[in-house]
Amino acid sequence: MSQPPNTLQVQHRASLREYNTFGLPAVAATLVRLASVADVRRVVDHREYGVAAKFVLGGGSNVVLTRDFAGVVLKVEIMGRRLLREEADAWIVEVGAGEPWHEVVSWTVQQGWPGLENLALIPGSTGAAPVQNIGAYGVELKDRFESLDAVDLVTGRTVTLDAPACRFGYRDSVFKQHLAGKSVITRVRLRLPRPWQPVLGYLDLERKMAESGQRTPDAQTVFDWVCAIRRAKLPDPAVIGNAGSFFKNPVVSPEQCRDIIGRDPAVVHYLLPDGSYKLAAGWLIDACGWKGKSVGRAGVYDKQALVLVNRGGASGAEVVTLARAIQESVYGRFGIRLEPEPVIL
């Protein structure tokens, strides 16, 4: 049934299974679809929804639903994308938070505004991209970020945040810290630098360059390479439920790194600019023998141990049980506590 545009689209006892890429079962007491900034204000001003507990859902690609939600789930469906302005050293593109991220990447590359190609095929919505500062193959969202608009869920006021205000970190931002659950991102502005330089320092991309013999690939070629690399390693959520990397890559001190190398010299580690080391969580999990294993209907993907998958009909509790078992065995063998990347609800 079509709704008048000035009325909120509300669904009661709404199944969330279709709205999370893990395909986990959960029911929201109320689901409200937000098609505009005005809709966010309608929720804030609403007698009942204004005071209810709220959970903001984007593309549902970074969440593990372990229970039904008694409050209001806000599904962000604000659309629209345009070139906002052209500057001497950048194209500034503005995108509605509900736009699927990969389609935005693909569109910008086709329009001749490159810069997002390393972030191709990351599932989820554009509004969710800054929340966890998505990153892949040497580029993070913060490297291509101009500003965003968010509506405060208590006051209904719109604020514009620049990069310092977002406090981006590795898979982290102010929206995972003190603004968690307090505001809805409505629009994101991206800064695509010109002239464009490809970012090819990542091992997987270096391999593609060597195989193809192309020394100066264009953005479309890098986009195609990233898509091919991801398709070979990561499960398509439309086929096998998952939420991408389940754990963050842990950062340790040089002493801890030496200790772990002492336990297993093959550990994959990268020196960071501040002198600490990032360890490959996928390697640690793999070394503990988890690749391809299952606990109940939740499992560890057989081509990349960092990705937990729904083997069909898993519950959020099964995923969390598997995650805890992995954390215990990695802690037991390496003394490292792995931290989950998705939000666990």
Positions touching ligand EPU (CB under 6 A) are 136-137, 233, 244-245, 248-249, 268, 280, 282-283, 286, 291, 304-306, 341
Which residue, 98 or 282, has its beta carbon nearer to ligand EPU?
282
Beta bridge partner(s), residue 69: 28
Minimum gap (Å) between residue 199 Cβ and ligand EPU? 11
Which residue, 105 or 306, has its beta carbon nearer to ligand EPU?
306
Q: Which residues contact 96 (CB under 8 A, 6 or more apart)?
A: 78, 79, 80, 81, 126, 127, 186, 187
Which residue, 98 or 124, has its beta carbon nearer to ligand EPU?
124
Which residue, 96 or 135, has its beta carbon nearer to ligand EPU?
135
**How would you classify the pairing of strands 145-152 and 27-34?**
unpaired
Beta bridge partner(s), residue 73: 31, 55
Structure tokens that stand for 271 in this block? 């020196």
Minimum gap (Å) between residue 203 Cβ and ligand EPU? 7
Whole-number Å distance between alpha carbons of 63 and 340: 10
Burial of 168 (0-12, 13-18, 19+ CB in 10 A): buried
Dmax (CA) of the chain: 66
341 has catalytic annotation: yes
157 has catalytic annotation: no
Candidates 171, 183, 187, 315; catalytic one: 171
Please give the torsion angle defined by the CA atoms of residues 25, 42, 104 and 207, in that order, rounded to the nearest 10 degrees. -50
Task: Give residue 6's identity as a one-letter amino acid code.
Answer: N
87 has catalytic annotation: no
Whole-number Å distance between alpha carbons of 180 and 84: 28
Q: CA angle, corner 38, sides to 36 and 43, nearest 5?
A: 105
Which residue, 45 or 264, has its beta carbon nearer to ligand EPU?
264
Minimum gap (Å) between residue 331 Cβ and ligand EPU? 18
Structure tokens that stand for 295 in this block? 């606990």
Block residue for tokens 């010299």? 265
Minimum gap (Å) between residue 311 Cβ and ligand EPU? 17
Minimum gap (Å) between residue 308 Cβ and ligand EPU? 11
Candidates 147, 183, 245, 315; catalytic one: 245
Enumerate the active-site residues. 171, 245, 341
